[in-house]
């Protein structure tokens, strides 16, 4: 995948709680993704998160990038050292805008707002409540299921 850019002044704030930034990112990823990443290591410097490890799936790799990237003060995430199996699944990334809802995003991508649950399921590690998304947050949008 490579290097991803994010909006650094939005998102969950986990830094400054007595733990160094890299360790805080590792803790968050372990909490939300469990044992889906082996040998997980994160580095953080100058707004750049670099992730290392072996993911159980390509979707896990994408979710790790989004979890790290949707943190306040993170500008970019480098996942070149985060291994995963190849995937045939096609996903797009979408940055939430003011006034968006999962319903509205599903309507835009799938032509049916009722399919918001598919977006929620693809992002359940990133979105804890489908009614609580925020501008600047980046989400995975799975390819429309026929």
Predicted confidence pLDDT, tens digits, the chain (146 residues): 677 888 777 777 877 755 689 999 999 999 999 999 999 999 999 999 999 999 999 999 999 999 999 998 999 999 999 999 988 777 899 999 999 999 999 999 999 999 999 999 999 988 989 999 999 999 999 886 55
All CATH 3.10.350.10 domain ranges in the chain, comma separated: 91-142
CB burial string 50-74: b at 16+ within 10 A, e below: bbbbebeebbbbbbbbbbbbbbbbb
- Phi first, then psi: what are they for 31, rounded to 5°? -65, -45
Ranges of H-type helices in the chain: 21-33, 58-69, 102-110, 116-122
91-142: in CATH 3.10.350.10? yes
Q: Do the bridges between strand 37-45 and strand 91-95 make them parallel or antiparallel, or are there none, so unpaired?
A: unpaired
What is the Cα–Cα distance from 88 to 85, expressed in whole angstroms?
10
Is the whole-model pTM more than 0.75? yes
CB burial string 1-36: b at 16+ within 10 A, e below: eeebebbeebbeebeeeeeebeebbbebbeeebeeb
Instruction: State residue 79's pLDDT score.
Output: 95
Instruction: State residue 12's pLDDT score.
Output: 75
Using CB atoms within 10 Å of the CB of residue 113, give its burial: 0 to 12 exposed, 13 to 18 middle, 19+ buried: middle
Instruction: State residue 11's pLDDT score.
Output: 74
Ranges of H-type helices in 4-57: 21-33
* 126 within 8 A of 139, measured Cβ to Cβ: yes
Token pair listed for 14: 């986990």
């Amino acid at each position: 995948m490579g290097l991803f850019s994010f909006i650094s002044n939005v998102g969950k704030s986990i830094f400054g709680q007595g733990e160094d930034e890299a360790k805080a990112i590792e803790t968050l990823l372990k909490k939300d993704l469990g044992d889906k990443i082996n040998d997980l290591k994160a580095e953080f410097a100058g707004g750049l998160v670099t992730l290392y490890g072996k993911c159980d799936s390509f979707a896990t790799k994408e979710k790790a990038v989004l979890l790290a990237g949707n943190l306040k003060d993170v500008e970019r995430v480098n996942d070149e050292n985060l291994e995963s199996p190849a995937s045939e699944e096609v996903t797009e990334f979408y940055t939430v805008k003011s006034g968006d809802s999962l319903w509205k995003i599903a309507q835009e991508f799938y032509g049916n707002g009722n399919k918001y649950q598919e977006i929620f399921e693809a992002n359940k590690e990133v979105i804890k409540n489908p009614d609580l998304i925020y501008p600047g947050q980046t989400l995975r949008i799975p390819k429309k299921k026929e």
